[in-house]
Amino acid sequence: MNINKKNARLNFSCCREGRLRGCFNRSGGRITGPRRAIVDFFHHEKGHFTAEEVFAKLALRYPGLGIATVYRTLSALSSSGVLNRFDFGEGKAKYELSDGHEGGSHHHHLVCSNCGKIMEYYDFMDEERDFFNKIEKTLSNRHNFLIKGHSLHFYGFCEKCKKENREVK
């Protein structure tokens, strides 16, 4: 079953029509094979991926896919709030499912300023959830901003770099 054959459809269990309409169709956008595949990708894989990484993984089951389409779709999904776009200083953007979005697994990042290592943590304190609920409500009102998600990065030095550089380079 090849997605780019005429009328072929990917049929992942989580790939409900409603979600795709929410991502694309409501605003007049068309639901296509590549878009279907990319939205599904982010609902099945955990973590953050570059455009190249998304392309490489999807190309296996979708031989006709073009890298430009991946860039375009990631950009569109980011604009519509489905994905969040991050840059961790690696020279290329990474995308992950927005925490506001259905299925989004919320987490925060620890980024080593020296070696660039990225650690994720999922172990939230209840306090953390309460904090964000409250602050997002306050900010929405105060700045007339519709908040769809957030990213919290802590910068510093990982265990290894902390040891190696007593005096930071």
Which spans of this chain sit near DNA (rule: CB under 7 A)? 4, 6-7, 24-25, 28-35, 50-52, 64-69, 71-73, 75, 91-93
In total, the chain counts a number of residues equal to 169
* Minimum CB–partner distance for residue 104 and its own copies (Å): 12
Q: Of these partners, its own copies, DNA, none, which one is at the site of residue 95 (CB under 5 to 8 Å by kind)?
A: none
* Minimum CB–partner distance for residue 61 and its own copies (Å): 28
* Minimum CB–partner distance for residue 64 and DNA (Å): 4
Binding-site size, its own copies (CB under 8 A): 54
Is position 149 an interface residue for its own copies (rule: CB under 8 A)? yes
67-73: long-range contacts at Cβ-Cβ below 8 A with a sequence spacing of 24 or more?
69/34, 70/34, 70/38, 73/34, 73/35, 73/38
Is position 47 an interface residue for its own copies (rule: CB under 8 A)? no
* Minimum CB–partner distance for residue 62 and its own copies (Å): 25
Enumerate residues 54-73 that contact its own copies by CB under 8 A. none
165 Cβ contact partners less than 8 Å away, ≥ 6 residues apart: 114, 157
Of the pair 3, 70, the CB lying nearest its own copies is at 70
Of the pair 19, 35, the CB lying nearest DNA is at 35
66 Cβ contact partners less than 8 Å away, ≥ 6 residues apart: none
Single-letter amino acid code for the residue at 118: I
Q: Of these partners, DNA, its own copies, none, which one is at the site of residue 69 (CB under 5 to 8 Å by kind)?
A: DNA
Nearest-CA neighbor of 58 among 25, 77, 34?
A: 34
| Spatial separation of the C-alpha atoms in residues 112 and 100, rounded to whole Å | 26
Whether the Cβ atoms of residue 100 and residue 151 lie closer than 8 Å to each other: no
Q: Of these partners, DNA, its own copies, none, which one is at the site of residue 14 (CB under 5 to 8 Å by kind)?
A: none
